[in-house]
Amino acid sequence: MADLLYQSIILSVVAVVLLQVLKLRVRPRARTPPGPWRLPVIGSMHHLLNVLPHRALRDLAAVHGPLMMLQLGQTPLVVVSSREMAREVLRTHDASFATRPKLLVGEVVLYSYTDILFSPSGTYWRKLRQLCAAEIFSPSRVLSFRHIREQEVKNQVEDIHGVGPSTPVDATAIFSGLAISIISRASFGNKQRNAREFLSAVKTGVTLASGFKIPDLFPAWRSVLARATGMRRALEDVHGTIDSSLDEVIAERKCVRQDKARSGGAPAAVEENLVDVLIGLQEKGGPLHRLSTNSIKGVIVDMFVAGTGTISSSLDWGMAELMRSPRVMGKLQRELREAFPGRTAISERDIDAGSLPYLKLVIKENLRLHPPAPLLVPRESIHACELGGYVIPAGSRVIVNAWAIGRDPRYWGDDAEEFKPERFADSSVDFTGSSYEFLPFGAGRRMCPGVSYSLPFLQMALVQLCYHFDWSLPEGVAVVDMTEADGLGLRRKSPLRLCATPFVPESAC
């Protein structure tokens, strides 16, 4: 009897173990999105070596679908490459993907994620976003910098006039210098005294902020890998240069405000730049009680990096496309010269009051083909989420290939790769974040807040350059080189060298 009982217990235990093993084997695994083949340790990283990521990811999506998952080291990377999937991420499940991955650049350079770009989702970020919308990117604030845009573009037009029509000018350098001058004056109140070192540090920081660097792909080993690869040392050098420059600027602006107050004027009477605005908010408190000096620095770095890099690149691509399409250039110049007949000077007020529909189409088409951030800024899934029948694990990095979506023939037709501004005529498609086939500035909670800041700059520069000059390629140059530079930012590889023949209005003759 005892033996029978003993055998029954043994059989029961064995049966339970077998059932548990069988249950584990038949339990359906989470169905994650498809993706390319992987190698041990590095996963899918070999698919992105020595290639332009936005192009390589479009080619992989053509094989694996518009919702695709790669494994980059320890980091799951979800890539969205269609309008429909972009709407799911940026609208339907926007709250699930509203945070940012904690990249090393945000920790070291951007004051432990106190800026708006890399700040994780939460109360601090929400209040910072509200502050930017109300105080930094408000229509009145953008309008207050109108005189800066007008003065700097006017100075550049005069410089080009002085070169003469037979000597080529470096348009790429002109656009970069123009963006730096305008953003510096609007942000700091003057042009940086140590501009060369500051700009060099900013460029290095942008290069290291891609999210594709080895330490950012192995979070468990990030500290060790950051030091072994030299990435932390490089970022600390970048931080040191940027931080000392901003300390100098903030101290200078505080002295200006104090001097004005001592002389009987209110600090608010000082001609304000963005540093002044943030100092004023810090002094009076307000909805963002954690607006520390580091927060001010982080926001200013975001403004400077986003403003100088993306605006100059957009102008560079736009002028290159116009040079490749004499029809479009001619049509744009006719619109401008008919809108402002006989004018020797054009103000931003004139541009706002004028009817310039084709200019707006040209800007839209340029942003479609050449979005400033082709993969947008990466997001991270806060918790597990289902998209298109697939499970996106919590902590997955998510990028939207805006470049690929903007060139997809399903949304733009067989001529999707052509520069054709007329495609936007009589179309409701816009870059305000509601048209998911057109996402140059993103959409949803983490949409770029500086759209209203950059558009007046783009309009002013294009109007002045295309109105005042007839442009041509230098002697011996037959085509514009449209090769893209390496890296995540969508930049042209070769400088755009052009000859500028001044246009003389009839009434000025």
- The binding site for heme comprises 448
Q: Tell me which residue of 471, 491, 475 sits closest to 483, measured CA to CA.
A: 491
**Distance of alpha carbon 200 from alpha carbon 206, whole angstroms:** 10
Unique residue bearing structure tokens 């109300």: 134
CA 450 to chain centre: 10
Alpha carbons 148 and 145: distance in angstroms, whole number: 5
Label the pairing between strands 390-392 and 385-387. antiparallel
- What number of residues does the chain have? 509
Residue 387, beta-bridge partner list:
390
Q: In DSSP terms, which residues pair with 80 in a beta bridge? A: 67, 400
* β 397-400/75-80 pair status: parallel
- Rounded Cα distance, 471 and 320, in Å: 11
Do residues 496 and 171 touch, judged by C-beta distance below 8 A?
A: yes
CA distance 152 to 452: 19
Burial class, 36, CB count within 10 angstroms (exposed 0-12 / middle 13-18 / buried 19+): middle
Binding site per annotation, positions: 448
Burial of residue 460 (CB within 10 Å: 0-12, 13-18, 19+) is: buried
Separation of alpha carbons 317 and 363, rounded Å: 10
CB distance 495 to 316 below 8 Å: no
* Residues 2, 213: Cα–Cα separation, whole Å: 66
User: SS3 of 34, please?
Assistant: coil
DSSP notation for 88-117 = IIIIITGGGG-B----HHHHHTTTTTTSSS
Torsion angle, alpha carbons of 79, 406, 487, 227, to 10: -30
Q: Which of 71, 76, 75 is nearest to 47 (CA)?
A: 71
Cross-strand partners of 501: 470
CA distances to 70, 132, 173, 480 from 156, rounded to whole Å, are 46, 30, 11, 23
What Cα–Cα distance (Å) separates residue 179 from each residue in 85, 271, 460?
34, 20, 12
